[in-house]
Structure 1
């Protein structure tokens, strides 16, 4: 294991060089073996003791120079010029098997000059939540940071109630944020902005010529980052993920999901779904996430204005062109995503009425988002819809089937498939290939299981209680590992999947998530 430290070359105004604060009794709780293998760490950290010492910050590897990164950010629409890593230390960067560079960061590793009177620590539950949710999103084919390990500290963290402390090791393509560019843009530090732009291009966008004209590469960079936001947020919407705190300091330049504090999953479909306890106005509700992503890209554009053109009006005009195109492209991508969930190869204006009608039926009848799309997928495989779902969708289903090129009534199609007792490709109708293609698209777009909020909370509570009491630790560990094994294969059903597919009995009424700080 040999850390690289490329951030150090940016200059001291980009970070604070500071060691993690040692903890009392670090113990390795969870180790992501698959990720460790990808990062070529299998033989580098020899045992659980070594892993706990290094990944708690108690021991610093010879090649590591820990730093806390500086950045600013808009938090719920209000600009804060001085944020930064208040409870995180970047140990350095490692290369994976494919020669890709990744940051290795400790979260909950102690205070820095960016802590703003915080204790710099992380409680156990938020650390475990980050591991569960990031692994789930990664398996759902959504760009995300990941967790290499969770280490308990043997210390108590004080929030509303005393809680056991933990440190999570986060792995990301980088920790550059929109807020990083805002940090220097808001200060009028054009030289640092140029340096940051070149670093970000070299690290994430090699297709952009870093030696090109400053204005040209800044414009291409803004467009490229915006495109990654389209991909990311449409994936969130595809599976019902609600980030909960889409501040600009949580918006990565790489297009990865980062910061899993108040995140949650939508059960019943409703665009206004929000669970974050700190989002009283619903700014970051499920259905607002596209608009917020566009807003965040406009803030990135503002930071880049000094590089886009010497004259502000010309720079604004260039930025507005990119943002207007982003709005158009986001709308198109969102519609294509929903079309794929319904099995369509493409989406045109005539499809949108069909899609909107379906979403309206789900919303007005409080249908579960994941279960309903999965039921339609399985219906094409010969399974019958539940009586309730079939009744609600009765007037819509014939139009959907016709759009897929499938003839016959719903009952006829499912009955024929059941009688044949064969796969979806054997449903007898005139255009079999249409069904085969539709099922393939739907199976890729619609997971069989998601990290349901009530299951996540149950796992977290059981694990914490076992750790505190010293009783049932092995059982809690097994339950967590079983949950993770199911979440890591979300598009196929295993013998354990059914244990975690059910929606919450109370439909998540009153459910709230917290940021963990």
Structure 2
């Protein structure tokens, strides 16, 4: 069921994990749709034996948990040894299409990389990631996914005692930029070559022209891999920003080689549109603010490139530098394409770009609710009254008339534009205040709000009067935390 495929990698990249059983594990939720896709029996996962595995208490025969080693730049400072301090990799499964996924427990106890931490997780961060990752998947953003969550029956100590929980999540791969940095700073070329070969041929085989070669040229493969990862990150960050999503901690150890959103910590969605918004309570200098995410991704890619070099005069330097220089253009093309879809525009021309820029200026000046603005725009068209009082009705009216003129004269006209907008503007996102309500209820033992919000955010394009409403001023969440 779970193949220990990672153990074929160089031993420097992983460590064995000793299980730390908890006292009274109970199931909080099983993602039945994902379980079925991965070949798991949801009934078995909910059984005593299944919950024992999900809680890290006891493993089925052949399942040998391990923790991955990695390094990383954290808020710009390099830390040479980080690793899975509260996560353990159980193994690999294949879905119904033959695609492999790694299964990991998060919050299951200490590993050799835990340092001073307890390796545990509280129920709040577990349910936040469960909700958010599945919401992102439903919208169409590449992400790790939540397979299950269990309560441990034990408290964890943070600012106060909180109910403990463990998340089971899956990913195409848990390789990060920090994985390559870990090997590179130790001069471990064997490990670097193994990771390059795996990532290029398994994660990006459709792009790699030498994937079928039994003895591929690793030197050439590095550039092919780097180009693929840069493309994936341009797509990912563009998708984040088109949705108003802030990751919160874009350290290099949180940047997935698979191009997935990973390690949900102090993330948040914009309510009012504030381009330089920072939610994370630990990001005191705003390094990972909303409008800096593409620049940070480019910076992280430069660190990735450095870790792929085998010598000072490496032939890969020039082509990888060109890819880094082109990254901002790649991101802008993806981002503007997504914003054009949100506005029902054909995109790709100067006139449409001017409408997009004008839209962002209006959102900034008026501090409008980001998600609701796009969702309700076709109904309001050039209505300057709308749902809120505007600071500058004339500026909004001028922009709205330009937008209406562009979409009316596009192929298919206004109706086609509205159809496109309805497919690219979710009605429901995991709004910060709704997630906080779920956490408070779950800490008190009530999971009904969690299941209600989960159902809403996994059907993001369906109208839902309860969950699509913006927060009141009293409900607004201004700061988020990672919960470690």
Both proteins in one fold, TM over 0.5: yes
User: CA deviation digits over 1:185-229, x for unaligned, max 9?
Assistant: 122211211111111123201132244432221101000011001
CA contact (8 A) 1:339 1:355 kept: yes
User: CA deviation digits over 1:472-499, x for unaligned, max 9?
Assistant: xxxx322221111111111122xxx111
Return the alpha-carbon distance in structure 2 between the equivalents of residues 289 and 131 of structure 1. 23
Choose from 477, 480, 486 the match for 2:447: 477
1:167 is matched with 166
SS in 2 for 1:305: coil
1:462 is matched with 441
1:99 is matched with 98
Return the alpha-carbon distance in structure 1 between the equivalents of residues 461 and 43 of structure 2. 33
Return the alpha-carbon distance in structure 1 between the equivalents of residues 420 and 373 of structure 2. 16
Choose from 424, 429, 432 the match for 1:445: 424
2:298 is matched with 294
Matched, 1:396 2:399: yes
1:367 Cα deviation after fit: 0.6
Return the alpha-carbon distance in structure 1 between the equivalents of residues 482 and 42 of structure 2. 35
Q: What TM-score do the two structures reach when normalised by structure 2? A: 0.94
CA contact (8 A) 1:28 1:49 kept: no
SS in 1 for 2:44: coil
1:242 is matched with 246
1:113 is matched with 112
Q: Identify if the C-alpha distance between structure 1 residues 46 and 168 changes in structure 2 by more than 3 Å, giving closer, same or farther.
A: closer
Choose from 472, 481, 503 the match for 2:470: 503
Equivalent positions of 1:193-272 (< 5 A) are 193-207=192-206, 208=208, 209-210=210-211, 211-272=215-276
Q: Identify if the C-alpha distance between structure 1 residues 321 and 509 changes in structure 2 by more than 3 Å, giving closer, same or farther.
A: same
Return the alpha-carbon distance in structure 2 between the equivalents of residues 89 and 268 of structure 1. 38
Q: Identify if the C-alpha distance between structure 1 residues 149 and 313 changes in structure 2 by more than 3 Å, giving closer, same or farther.
A: closer
Equivalent positions of 1:317-466 (< 5 A) are 317-379=318-380, 385-386=386-387, 388=389, 391=393, 393-406=396-409, 433-465=412-444
CA contact (8 A) 1:19 1:89 kept: no
Matched, 1:512 2:474: no
Return the alpha-carbon distance in structure 2 between the equivalents of residues 44 and 173 of structure 1. 24
Q: Identify if the C-alpha distance between structure 1 residues 445 and 213 changes in structure 2 by more than 3 Å, giving closer, same or farther.
A: same
1:146 is matched with 145
Return the alpha-carbon distance in structure 1 between the equivalents of residues 83 and 419 of structure 2. 44
Q: What TM-score do the two structures reach when normalised by structure 1? A: 0.88
CA contact (8 A) 2:382 2:401 kept: no
1:47 Cα deviation after fit: 3.8
CA contact (8 A) 1:277 1:513 kept: yes
Return the alpha-carbon distance in structure 1 between the equivalents of residues 388 and 154 of structure 2. 53
CA contact (8 A) 1:20 1:89 kept: no
SS in 2 for 1:163: strand
Please say which of residues 107-116 and 346-355 is displaced more in the overlay: 346-355
1:316 Cα deviation after fit: 2.6
Q: Identify if the C-alpha distance between structure 1 residues 186 and 339 changes in structure 2 by more than 3 Å, giving closer, same or farther.
A: same
1:424 is matched with none
1:155 is matched with 154
1:311 Cα deviation after fit: 4.8
CA contact (8 A) 2:19 2:58 kept: no
**Structure 2 gap ranges (5+):** none
Count of aligned pairs between the two proteins: 477
Return the alpha-carbon distance in structure 1 between the equivalents of residues 382 and 202 of structure 2. 44
CA contact (8 A) 2:35 2:42 kept: no
Return the alpha-carbon distance in structure 1 between the equivalents of residues 280 and 66 of structure 2. 30
1:379 Cα deviation after fit: 4.1
1:349 Cα deviation after fit: 2.5
Please say which of residues 328-337 and 240-249 is displaced more in the overlay: 328-337
**Structure 1 gap ranges (5+):** 407-430, 468-475
SS in 1 for 2:104: strand
SS in 1 for 2:191: helix
Q: Identify if the C-alpha distance between structure 1 residues 432 and 330 changes in structure 2 by more than 3 Å, giving closer, same or farther.
A: closer
Equivalent positions of 1:6-45 (< 5 A) are 6-42=5-41, 45=44
1:51 Cα deviation after fit: 2.5
After superposition, the CA RMSD in angstroms is: 2.1
Equivalent positions of 1:61-140 (< 5 A) are 61-140=60-139
Return the alpha-carbon distance in structure 2 between the equivalents of residues 58 and 355 of structure 1. 52
1:116 Cα deviation after fit: 1.2
